[in-house]
Amino acid sequence: MNQHLPLEEAIVLLQQLIACPSFSREEQGTAALLEGFLLSKGIPCHRLHHNIWATNRYYQSEKPSLLLNSHHDTVRPNSGYRRDPFQPSIEFEEGLPFLEKRILYGLGSTDAGGALVALLFTFLAFYDQKNLPYNLVFAATAEEEISGTNGIECLLPHLGPLAFGLVGEPTNMQMAVAERGLLVIDGLATGRAGHAAREEGENALYKALDDLQTLRNYSFPKVSDLLGPVKVTATQIQAGVQHNILPETCTFTLDVRVNEWYELEEVLTTLQQLTSSQLKARSLRLRPSSIDATHPLVQAGIQLGLHRYGSPTCSDQALLPFPSLKLGPGESARSHTADEFIYIAELAAGLRGYSQLLQSLFRQHHAS
């Protein structure tokens, strides 16, 4: 393995990624940047839509493969930004050592540029090593922020058999061993229009409110030690066309975060049985996931002293049909916030931590 994990070169690449707008479905610029970077290192790579991937030099089809995946798309900057979101400036925070006080600002710096760059340089470090116990498949994917179909989902059939995965997202370099699934549900309550001043008609808004109160009071019985209970949240509601007419219909939206004890279909059916409104899921793709504590990748992290926890946020992990671990530098709470940033020390911790995790994984394999 190449022991050199060049922090300054990683900073430069991350700055280049920040400076290139890469909103979901518009990642052509960062895809070209990543493709060019890999080719400049003499590494053959492939592109599908705006997804870029490569395998280690001594890839052997008979070996199990480990996916190293993160995304290069971003959300759009919100109105709270005071800085140019595409100006990757490094500033200094007083009272901290030099390395720790350097802060890199820019959209996507934490979510998930730091993890992406750290995974990429870790892949480079192991790329030329012979006799690895696992193949390494690096994939920089698109459309993660919108759970789009032209991201990791369309890429998976092109990557060959994959045994397990390491998904780069900001977790403060602790192991997210479970992740909530996501159901977005559209509700429709139906009544009959009538004059508001007379006792006629059937108010669809009140019917919807009754259903929402029922859902608010309901608790799914199976609670996860890692992810807690299933969480149902009403986030949107629309009804009515005029102040003196009872609304004939009322539509609303539910955001449902599902723990690993339930299938999405089971949760949807339960909610439908609780309400008189029609409930329809937009998608059943974003499933909850978990990886067993005995899995070699988790055990490799435990040997390094990493902690396990359940992640409340959804990522491309929901679309992976094999065990995966979510791990990466930076604080998840900074994702999608104004004036997003990452500490340079966090990027360094990502470079170091990913490399140590793979070395620990390989040692386990050789010792077994």
Dump pLDDT digits (tens) for 18-34: 999 999 999 999 999 99
Range with lowest mean pLDDT among 56-65, 89-98, 323-332: 89-98
Residue 225 and residue 133 share a domain: no
Tell me, yes or no, whether 152 lies in a domain. yes
For the chain, counts of helices (H) and of strands (E): 9, 16
Q: What is the domain range of residue 246?
A: 181-281
Residues 159 and 13 in one domain: yes
Q: Is the pLDDT of residue 275 over 80?
A: yes
Within a domain: 1:
no
Which of 50, 46, 48 lies closest to 26 in space, CA to CA? Answer: 50
The percent of residues in the chain predicted with pLDDT above 90, rounded, is 90
CATH classification of the domain holding 193: 3.30.70.360
Boundary-marking domain end, from 251, 281, 311: 281
Q: How many residues does the chain have?
A: 368
> What pLDDT shows up at residue 2?
46
What total of structural domains would you count in the chain?
2
Which of 281, 309, 329 is at the close of a domain? 281
Coil, strand or helix at 37: helix
Domain boundary among 248, 281, 314: 281
Task: Say which amino acid occupies 90.
Answer: I
pLDDT single digits (tens) 201-210: 999 999 999 9
Q: In 129-196, which residue ranges form alpha helices assigned H by DSSP?
A: 152-155
Within a domain: 324 = yes
Residue 242 lies in a domain: yes
- Same domain? For 12 and 74 the reply is yes
CA separation (Å) from 186 to 5, 82, 251, 253, 273? Answer: 47, 35, 7, 5, 15
Query: CA 218 from chain center: how many Å?
Result: 28
- The rounded distance, in Å, linking the Cα atoms of 285 and 24 is 18
pTM strictly above 0.85: yes
Query: Does residue 77 lie in a domain region?
Result: yes
What is d(CA 8, CA 246) in angstroms, rounded to the nearest whole number? Answer: 64
Question: Distances from the Cα of 64 to the Cαs of 59, 109, 137, 253, in angstroms?
Answer: 10, 32, 11, 42
Determine the Cα–Cα distance for residues 189 and 166; give it in Å rounded to an integer.
Answer: 42
Cβ atoms of 72 and 60 within 8 Å: the answer is no
Instruction: State the average pLDDT over residues 221-239.
Output: 96
Judgement on whether residues 164 and 297 belong to the same structural domain of the protein? yes
Task: Tell me the per-residue pLDDT of 293-327, one tens digit each, with 9 for 90 and over.
Answer: 999 999 999 999 999 999 988 899 999 999 999 99
Confidence of residue 55 (pLDDT cuts 50, 70, 90): very high
Shared domain for 265 and 306, answered yes or no, is no
The pLDDT-based confidence of 101 (bands split at 50, 70, 90) is: confident
